[in-house]
Amino acid sequence: MKGSRTHSKGSQTHSKGSQTHPKGSQTRLNYFMMKTLLVFFIATAVFILSCTQQKEKLYRKSSIIMDTLVNITVVSDSEEKAENAIDQAFEEIRKLEKLLNFWTEDSDIAAINKNAGIKPVKVSPETIDIIEKALFISEKTRGAFDPTIGPVIRLWDFRKKTKPDESTLNKILDFVDYKEIEMDKEKHTVFLKKKGMSFDTGGIAKGYAADKAVSVLKSAGIKAGLVAVAGDIKAFGLKPDGTPWRIGIRNPRAKSKKDDIMAVIGLEDEAISTSGDYERFFIEDGVRYHHLLNPKTGYPAQGCQSVSIITKDAVFTDGFSTGIFVLGPEEGIKVLEELGFEGIIVDKDGRIIVTDGIKKRIQWKVNPIE
């Protein structure tokens, strides 16, 4: 009986072992199933991500606004969403054009100029904003950028290739002084102290419009895109392939299409503007007369061929590219270093000067001289 009980116990022990075997199998099975499910979920996630990436495309539209070509490119997985966002951005630029146009009779800028020396004018928040930024640029460039250069601009006609006579120009220069602008941010008023003064947003409005257009695109759910208002470009996010937006910088003395681009730089959440003496000009008696005028002399600045500025806001790349051009390479590079902006300056002799922060980012198409 004892043996039998021992056998029974042994059987029970065997039985326990048999119960242990299925449990181990179950554990291995559960592990296998979990591993399989994990692989499945990872594969599914990769597939979904891949599909999402494949659906994202570039959508582009163009329009003539602010007397120039405006190109907007966005990354989206929906053509309808992309087009609606782009159309909203175009509308924002058109609104700014009506407010900031120097040449029309019904803009905020026209109202300010008509009332110069007479009374302050109540204007839109956008107009106050751009004038405040213009005054900041004027201060930092020591007047090399001056938005009250309007009376001088009216004397030049680069299409007809005509320049003002010296005596008229000297008289007009008395009305150019950004320090004679009074702005009341609380009342939203602007006043030009001298009758005959006029404010011109031409050196800053396109960059400002690019910034505002990008804000509209972001509000519409666009995560990446590029707004180019003529040569003032604002980029945000990355292209569908995950790379930055590549922007070409023009060679100011290109002799053929082959060497038209002197350098390429990638932008992500940055803006770039280039001011060059090749944009609007005429040559008379061997002298190049161009539209980048020195507010102190009324004549075209002669120290540079082109200036490209890179920073976060297009309103500053636009204004500072003009101001730095007028300042010249030596003073200009000091201002850029002080502000922490990046820049590429081509001086009057074709020498290329680059800020340290972007030297490694530039892909040169010509041999730079630094």
Q: Where are the domains of the chain?
A: 103-192, 244-370
Can you point out the beta strands (E) in the chain?
57-65, 68-76, 121-122, 181-184, 189-192, 224-229, 232-236, 245-250, 261-267, 270-276, 281-284, 287-290, 304-311, 342-347, 352-354, 363-364
Could you tell me which CATH number the domain at 244-370 has?
3.10.520.10
Is the pLDDT at 278 greater than 60? The verdict is: yes
Topology adopted by domain 103-192: T-fold (1.10.3980)
pTM for this model (two decimals): 0.84
Is the pLDDT at 119 greater than 70? The verdict is: yes
Res 259: pLDDT:
86
Q: What mean pLDDT is predicted for residues 80-94?
A: 98
Q: Given pLDDT bands bounded at 50, 70 and 90, which one contains residue 43?
A: very low
Tokens of 175: 């009305």
User: What 3-state DSSP class applies to 87?
Assistant: helix
**Cβ atoms of residues 222 and 76 within 8 Å:** yes
Give the percent of the chain with pLDDT over 70. 84
pLDDT in tens, 52-81: 445 899 999 999 999 999 999 999 999 999
Q: How far is CA 117 from the centre of its chain?
A: 35
**Cβ atoms of residues 89 and 226 within 8 Å:** no
Tokens of 69: 């070509």
Averaged confidence pLDDT in the chain: 88
Nearest in space to 78 (alpha carbons), one of 268, 267, 223? 223
Q: How far apart are CA 249 and CA 262, in angstroms?
A: 6
Res 369: pLDDT:
55
Res 368: pLDDT:
67
Q: How far apart are CA 335 and CA 332, in angstroms?
A: 5
Q: Given pLDDT bands bounded at 50, 70 and 90, which one contains residue 370?
A: low
Q: What mean pLDDT is predicted for residues 306-324?
A: 98
* Low-confidence winner among 43-52, 175-184, 201-210, 269-278 (lowest mean pLDDT): 43-52
DSSP line for 35-77: HHHHHHHHHHHHHHHHHHHHH-EEEEEEEEETTEEEEEEEEES
Q: Which residue has the higher pLDDT, 16 or 370?
A: 370
Give 157's DSSP letter. Answer: B
pLDDT in tens, 323-345: 999 999 999 999 999 999 999 99
Res 7: pLDDT:
40
Question: What angle, rounded to 10 degrees, do the helices at 205-219 and 79-100 form?
Answer: 150
Distances (CA, A) of 301 to 109, 305, 318, 319: 25, 9, 17, 15
pLDDT in tens, 137-193: 999 999 999 999 999 999 999 999 999 999 999 999 999 999 999 999 999 999 999
Is the pLDDT at 319 greater than 50? The verdict is: yes
Amino acid at 218: K
